[in-house]
Amino acid sequence: MTGALLRLAWRNLWYNPGRTLIAMAAIGLGYAMLMFVACLMAGLRQQMIESGTGLLLSDIEVHAPDYYPDRPIQQTLGGRNGTDVNALLATIATAPGVQAASPRAYAYGLVSAAHQSVGAQLLGIVPAQERKTTVLQTRMVKGGYLTGQMPNGVVMGDELATALGVDVGSEIVLLTPAADGSTGNDVYTVVGLFHTGLDAMDRALVLMPLTSLQHLLRLSPARIHEVAIKLRDITTATTTAASLKASLSKTLPVRVMPWQELAPELADYVQFNRRVTFILFFIFFLLVAMGIINTMLMAIIQRTRELGMLMAVGMRPVQVVGLIVAEAASLAGASLVLGAALGSPLLWYLQVHGLNLGHKGGGVSLAGVLVGPLWYGRQDFTAYAQAALGLAVTALAAALYPALRAARFRPAEALRKV
């Protein structure tokens, strides 16, 4: 019975191809636009996350349990005795989903030039490995990045250099409490300046070779504070972090933090963005509801005679309701297909070529991250599915009013209508 009803419904749609096509075009295009926005926004969120984590945070960080957020220099991975750094890196690098891992040490100290001393964060890295995890090396504005060659070379933010009155080639002194309680100090040469557009980094960050910082801090080479991890797919951050914790904890007490814990403000904005996009869905559903009610009402008024005849030959009111609802459902379904077909090339284009917002969205720093003027889209199948589902539900609900009205036709009267 339902099968026949559906076939009837489908055929009914095409008796008035003009009206049906217009409605399909409107709903279909609307759906395509929703997909477009969802795709664009997903791409924006992705870009923001990658920008936010790509410079320094990385996708996941591994620390000793009591290390974060105070970062006491004594809390190295593996405690006072440290750990086999190479083995640890190897284990992490071969874990599923991990693209690269790099070791780091941190300290907070005084950077002193001829007439000025400024407090800054000192970060010790292994340049060759760090390149694979983060992208700070792409932000150099003067001089060069760290190399293996100069153990006493450092790289700092351009604003820090200005505050100190130094430039590439200048000598500076780094002063920091060492692990043995003494005051670690040594002379270093500035080999490069970077500019990220982020205050926290440009004003207060100094990068140096890991071994140099360990030496300054009187830490043995087995002692590092953190392993930074880059994933193949950043959306797996939380799950990969959990599995890493499980596997590493067997031999080493660790705390594994995905970027959401490291940059909660960024995670917040991403959520917020998603929610605002939802408002758009809501508007679309409302418009579709109105459209369907309108279309179907007009349809049944036009088909009063036909419906009257159907009821006269025995179609029950329930079946009439079913018919109208089925028509609406078919309309919605067809529109969805049309919309998806129209939208897909657009989505593909967005993902591959991006949308250039030029003057409006150029080189912006957002919630602590940088987003460029070119927005790439990213497929958000969940959103597409949610929109489609919502559309279907809306169509069905909207069709109820006209359907119920049709069901209340009295065959005798209906037949007499012109």
Partner 1 sequence: MAGVLLLVKIGWRNLWRNPRGTLLTALALGMGLTLLLISLGLLDGSQEQMIGNAVRFGTGHVVIQAQGYQQSGSQELLLPAPVMSAAEAFLHTDAMKHVVRGVSPRLLASGLLSSAANADGVDIMGVIPIEERTVSLIPQRIVEGSYLSDDQQSGIVIGTELARKLAVKIGGKLVLTSQMVQLPDTEAADTGGGEMQSTLLRVSGIFRTGVQAIDAHIIQMPLPEAQTLLGVPDRITEVAVLLEREGDSLMVAQDLRKQLTGTPVEILTWREAMPTLAQLVSLDEAFNYVMNGVVLAMVGLAIFNTILMRVLERRYEFGLCSALGLRPGQLAVMVIGESLALTTISLGLGLVLGLSAQHYFATSGLDLRWFFKSSLPTALVFDPIIYARLSVTRIASSVGIVFLTAIVISLYPALRAARTELPGALRVF
Partner 2 sequence: MGWQTARITICVGLVWLSLGQVCQAADDQRAQEIVDRVARLFASKSSIATVEMQIVKQDLKRTISMQFWSLGESKILVRIRQPPEDAGTAILKVGDKTWLYLPKANRTVDMPASMMMTSWMGSHFTLDDLVGQSRLTHDYVISASFAGYRDGVAVSEYTLTPKPAAAVVWGKIALEVRQADLMPVWQRYYDEDGKLVRELSFSDYKYVSGRLIPTHLVMRPLDQVGEQTTITYENLVFDAPISEDMFSLKNLKQ
Q: Which of residues 366-405 bind partner 1 (CB under 8 A)?
A: 366-367, 371
Which range of residues in 178-186, 229-237, 345-353, 360-368 is near partner 1 by CB under 8 A? Answer: 360-368
Binding-site partner at residue 297 among partner 1, partner 2, none, CB < 5 to 8 Å by type: partner 1
Residues 6+ apart with CB under 8 A from 279: none
Cα distance between residue 57 and residue 192, in whole Å: 21
| Using rule CB under 8 A, residue 115 touches partner 1 | no
Q: In a 3-state reduction of DSSP, which class is residue 108?
A: strand
DSSP assigned state of 377 = P
72 vs 148, which CB is nearer to partner 2?
Answer: 72
Binding-site partner at residue 40 among partner 1, partner 2, none, CB < 5 to 8 Å by type: partner 1
116 vs 138, which CB is nearer to partner 2?
Answer: 116
| Using rule CB under 8 A, residue 298 touches partner 1 | yes
Determine the size of the site formed for partner 1 (CB under 8 A): 60
30 vs 157, which CB is nearer to partner 1?
Answer: 30
Give, for 240, the enclosing helix (H) or strand (E): helix 237-248
| Using rule CB under 8 A, residue 119 touches partner 1 | yes
Instruction: Single out the residue of 116, 91, 96 nearest to residue 173, CA to CA.
Output: 116
Cα distance between residue 45 and residue 36, in whole Å: 14
Instruction: Please state, in angstroms and as integers, the Cα–Cα distance from residue 178 to each residue in 44, 67, 183, 186, following that order.
Output: 43, 16, 6, 12
Q: Is the N-terminal amide bond of 264 cis, ω within 30° of 0?
A: no
| Using rule CB under 8 A, residue 340 touches partner 1 | no
Binding-site partner at residue 117 among partner 1, partner 2, none, CB < 5 to 8 Å by type: partner 2
Name the minimum Å distance from CB 53 to partner 1. 16
145 vs 384, which CB is nearer to partner 1?
Answer: 384
The residues binding partner 2 (CB under 8 A) are: 74, 80, 110, 112, 116-117, 173, 175, 177, 179-183, 185-187
Instruction: Single out the residue of 210, 205, 172, 212 nearest to residue 191, CA to CA.
Output: 172
> What does the per-residue mask of binding to partner 1 show for 70-109, with x meaning CB under 8 A?
x---------------------------------------
70 vs 180, which CB is nearer to partner 2?
Answer: 180
* Residue 138 structure tokens: 């792409």
* Residue 303 structure tokens: 């088909």
DSSP characters over 9-71: HHHHHHHSHHHHHHHHHHHHHHHHHHHHHHHHHHHHHHHHHHHHIIIII-SEEEE-TTTTTT-
169 vs 362, which CB is nearer to partner 1?
Answer: 362
3 vs 180, which CB is nearer to partner 2?
Answer: 180
Q: Which of residues 6-45 bind partner 1 (CB under 8 A)?
A: 16, 18-19, 22-23, 25-27, 29-30, 33-34, 36-37, 40-41, 44
Strands (E), 113-158: 117-125, 140-143, 153-157
DSSP assigned state of 139 = G
119 vs 148, which CB is nearer to partner 1?
Answer: 119
Cα distance between residue 176 and residue 94, in whole Å: 35
Binding site for partner 1 (CB under 8 A): 16, 18-19, 22-23, 25-27, 29-30, 33-34, 36-37, 40-41, 44, 69-70, 119, 198-200, 264-265, 268-269, 271-273, 275-280, 283-284, 286-287, 290-291, 293-295, 297-298, 301-302, 305-306, 357, 360-361, 363-367, 371
